[in-house]
Structure 1
Amino acid sequence: MPKGLYIVLAIFGLAWIAMGVMDNWSGSTWIINLVLTFLFWLPGLIHALVVMKNYY
């Protein structure tokens, strides 16, 4: 998945989908991001951008 698409998904609140695809839905990072996004959008965005370092 291109880095630009990952960032766009994070901005729109769908970073948990990008994390799930990158981890083949086996890790727990996408679940954490999903919870953070549902609580409030900004923590999910921050978490997605921090975790992005592991992928790129």
Structure 2
Amino acid sequence: MLSFFKRDPAKKLRKAYMAKLEQAMQAQRSGDIKSYSFITSEADVMHKEIMKLEANDK
């Protein structure tokens, strides 16, 4: 019906995903490899969730 009023659930998650990647890059640059790996694994979980939401939309 009025699908343009429907919010994209993946949009907010994509924004948080990009922020996590930025945070991981900063940790890597500062030499904190342990934090980098932890943040990257969190970002990977977010990415999988985004892919699942996008697959359901199709």
Higher Rg of the two aligned structures: 2
- Between Structure 1 and Structure 2, the one with more helix by share is 2
Q: Which has the higher contact order (CA 8 A, sep 6+)?
A: 2
* Pairwise same-fold verdict (TM > 0.5): no
Structure 2 length-normalised TM? 0.42
